[in-house]
Amino acid sequence: MSDSFGRFHKGMRRRTKILSALAKTPLKINEISADLDIPAATIYRIIKDLIKDGYVTKEKSLYALTLKGRKIIFDIEGTEGPKPTAVAISPFFPTGKNDRSNSK
């Protein structure tokens, strides 16, 4: 049981580190990997889950937090976080509707 908890704790720490890194600026997988000293394959796997859960979004090769992701990381870190700006309506912060998926 202890080993299982250790893996869970390590995974949660990695997710929190990734969210914290993305709270500063949108990044590529290799940039996150280099900044956090975590293998790129691990970053990719975790980010895939974070996208599925609605915390991260991808635009081209850049990953960024959604509003949901920003809220959770600032709640975890105990900070208020940056004030909303025009950036909050960019493609990196979807409103919940994916207009691009319907236009072909």
For 23-57, the pLDDT digits (tens) are 989 999 999 999 999 999 999 999 999 999 999 99
Residue type, 37: D
- pLDDT in the model for residue 36: 95
Of 47, 53, 55, the residue nearest 11 (C-alpha)? 47
pTM strictly above 0.95: no
What digits encode the pLDDT tens for the residues 46-93?
999 999 999 999 999 999 999 999 888 877 766 555 444 434 444 554
Task: pLDDT band for 9, please (50, 70, 90 cuts).
Answer: low
What domain range is 19 assigned to?
2-102
- pLDDT in the model for residue 78: 66
Structural domains in the chain (count): 1
* CATH code for the domain of 71: 1.10.10.10
Of 63, 81, 62, the residue nearest 72 (C-alpha)? 81
